[in-house]
């Protein structure tokens, strides 16, 4: 597995997912906004729906589904890695001195659970009756949970040239990116195949970029959304690495309106085949500015790139990069249904092969329109999964696809 991907729709060979766990049960009506949720899902039903999703991937493609928890436990057997992750996770509560105590008292699997689901003062007190938690209340978090972790698309992105490791915009999600990077740089199955494109070495706090903003347009081009979660400086640096690496010739910066329903570029459109794109029309029409980065020259180890602001729409860019492009609107363009189904990520389907997608069963009108275009649509239950406001693409990180 070379950890590079050259399309959004090549037949799926391997994918990374995270089965939701105790971190979801940490959500309450009072902390959900802080933890970046707009609702409080029911964990058992959420797990059933997620299991149906991962089973459908296996049955329909034969792809290997890697589970984050299993990979994490394998890496955490290295006690130095575990200690460093615990220390980093305890920084926000200013209790980094407890890392050693936690390491001594919990098993590796328990520590994996703590790193994803968090740890409260009263929980640690069961193991450490004399715990001095300072000013923290009994039900305060020593380590915050990561309830967004089942959205595996965001903490990194695979491109034709290597991996972009995300620098998450929201502090509450940065630990997700740290976990993913730790896994891929240390797991025996992956570490020798990682070509990191971002962030640059030595950057203490790199500009933010998230995987949902990265879309492979063609063999020669990648698009990155300049969104509420991805900064212009990060796009410039990622473009420099990609163009210098030599596998793509153009990196497009797509300026998205700063609105919740356009959070990432993959909520605006997804590519389902070499000539078919599914889009949310309101968002497509709202993108009024696009820039294109190309390689200027390479002098020794210095890469110079140039940026051109394009006076054309995103649609025009897509038509140039994707010959004979067909564009399908969510709910086939019906304004009422399109708006409703976009709220539940109608445009965010997961392509498991050319013109084969997995979609939420609730997006009836979009699924019907896809079938009318000759797309095979496999549906998954979505009453709870959709509460996190992310679709099937958001929940999956493809690690290997057949080359197209």
- Answer yes or no: do 129 and 195 share one domain: no
How many angstroms separate the CA atoms of 373 and 176, rounded? 37
Domain limit, last residue, from 111, 128, 143 = 143
> With contact defined as beta carbons under 8 Å apart, do 272 and 371 qualify?
no
Q: Quick one: tokens of 370?
A: 């896809």
- Answer yes or no: do 190 and 212 share one domain: yes
Domain limit, last residue, from 99, 119, 143 = 143
- Answer yes or no: do 57 and 108 share one domain: no
- Residue whose structure tokens are 């300026």: 255
How many angstroms separate the CA atoms of 174 and 171, rounded? 5
Residue 215 located in a structural domain: yes
- Answer yes or no: do 76 and 186 share one domain: no
Catalytic residue among 111, 146, 292, 394: 394
Q: pLDDT value at position 261?
A: 61
pTM metric for this prediction:
0.94
- Answer yes or no: do 76 and 157 share one domain: no
The candidate with the shortest Cα–Cα distance to 149, out of 167, 172, 169, 165, is: 172
H or E stretch covering 174 = helix 174-186
- Tens-of-pLDDT digits for all 404 residues of the chain? 899 999 999 999 999 999 999 999 998 888 777 777 778 889 999 999 999 999 999 999 999 999 999 999 999 999 999 999 999 999 988 999 999 999 999 999 999 999 999 999 999 999 999 998 888 899 999 999 999 999 999 999 999 999 999 999 888 788 999 999 999 999 999 999 999 999 987 777 899 999 999 999 998 999 999 998 999 999 999 999 999 999 999 999 999 877 666 678 998 899 999 999 999 877 777 777 899 999 999 988 899 999 999 988 888 899 999 999 999 988 888 878 877 777 667 789 999 999 999 999 999 999 999 999 999 999 999 989 988 778 999 999 999 999 99
- Answer yes or no: do 139 and 245 share one domain: no
Torsion of CA 92, 16, 382, 154, to 10 degrees: 50
Domain limit, last residue, from 91, 112, 143 = 143
> CB-based burial of residue 258 (10 Å sphere; 0-12 exposed, 13-18 middle, 19+ buried)?
exposed
- Answer yes or no: do 130 and 230 share one domain: no
How many angstroms separate the CA atoms of 198 and 219, rounded? 20
Residue 301 located in a structural domain: yes
CA 167 from centre of chain: 11
Range of the domain at 309: 12-64+148-399
- Answer yes or no: do 129 and 156 share one domain: no
User: How many Cβ atoms from other residues are within 10 Å of residue 272's Cβ?
Assistant: 24
Q: pLDDT value at position 369?
A: 94
How many domains does the chain fold into? 2
H or E stretch covering 114 = helix 108-117
Q: pLDDT value at position 126?
A: 95
Question: In residues, how long is the chain?
Answer: 404
CA distances from 111 to 71, 143, 171, 335 (A): 13, 11, 21, 48
> With contact defined as beta carbons under 8 Å apart, do 208 and 168 qualify?
yes
- Answer yes or no: do 268 and 170 share one domain: yes
Q: Quick one: tokens of 332?
A: 């086939």
Q: Quick one: tokens of 114?
A: 């703590």
Residue 40 located in a structural domain: yes
Q: pLDDT value at position 343?
A: 66
How many angstroms separate the CA atoms of 173 and 288, rounded? 29
Residue 4 located in a structural domain: no
CATH of the domain at 217: 3.75.10.10
Looking at residue 1, the DSSP 8-state letter turns out to be: -
> With contact defined as beta carbons under 8 Å apart, do 263 and 148 qualify?
no
SS3 359: strand
146 catalytic per annotation: no
How many angstroms separate the CA atoms of 269 and 245, rounded? 26
Residue 2 located in a structural domain: no
First-residue to last-residue Cα distance in the chain: 16
- Answer yes or no: do 254 and 367 share one domain: yes
- Answer yes or no: do 153 and 295 share one domain: yes
Residue 252 located in a structural domain: yes
């Amino acid at each position: 597995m070379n950890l590079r991907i050259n399309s959004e729709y090549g037949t799926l060979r391997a994918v990374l997912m995270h089965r939701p766990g105790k971190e979801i049960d940490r959500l309450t009506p009072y902390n959900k906004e802080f933890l970046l949720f707009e609702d409080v899902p029911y964990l058992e039903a959420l797990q059933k729906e997620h299991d149906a999703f991962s089973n459908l991937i296996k049955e329909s493609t034969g792809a290997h589904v890697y589970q984050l928890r299993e990979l994490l436990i394998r890496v955490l057997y290295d006690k130095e890695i575990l200690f460093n992750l615990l220390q980093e996770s305890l920084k926000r509560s200013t209790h980094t001195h407890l890392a050693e105590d936690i390491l001594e008292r919990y098993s590796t699997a328990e520590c994996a659970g703590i790193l994803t689901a968090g740890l409260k003062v009263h929980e640690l007190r069961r193991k450490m009756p004399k715990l001095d938690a300072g000013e923290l209340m009994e039900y305060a978090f020593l380590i915050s949970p990561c309830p967004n972790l089942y959205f595996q698309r965001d903490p990194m992105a695979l491109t034709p040239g290597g991996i972009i490791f995300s620098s998450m915009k929201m502090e509450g999600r940065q630990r997700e990116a740290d976990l993913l990077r730790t896994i891929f740089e240390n797991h025996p199955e992956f570490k020798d195949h990682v070509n990191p494109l971002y962030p640059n070495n030595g950057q203490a706090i790199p500009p933010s970029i998230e995987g949902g903003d990265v879309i492979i347009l063609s063999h020669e081009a990648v698009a990155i959304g300049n969104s509420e979660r991805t900064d212009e400086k990060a796009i410039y640096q990622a473009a420099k690495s990609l163009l210098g690496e030599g596998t793509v010739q153009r990196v497009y910066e797509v300026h998205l309106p700063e609105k919740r329903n356009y959070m990432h570029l993959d909520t605006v459109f997804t590519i389902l085949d070499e000539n078919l794109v599914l889009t949310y029309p309101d968002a497509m029409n709202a993108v009024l500015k696009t820039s294109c980065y190309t390689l200027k020259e390479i002098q020794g180890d210095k890469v110079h790139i140039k940026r051109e602001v394009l006076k054309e729409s995103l649609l025009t860019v897509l038509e140039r990069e994707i010959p004979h492009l067909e564009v399908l609107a969510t709910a086939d363009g019906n304004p009422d249904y399109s708006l409703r189904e976009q709220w539940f990520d109608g445009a965010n389907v997961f392509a498991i092969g050319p013109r084969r997608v997995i979609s939420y069963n609730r997006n009836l009108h979009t699924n019907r329109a896809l079938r009318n275009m000759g797309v095979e649509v496999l549906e998954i239950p979505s009453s709870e999964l959709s509460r996190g406001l992310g679709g099937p693409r958001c929940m999956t990180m493809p690690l290997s696809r057949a080359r197209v």
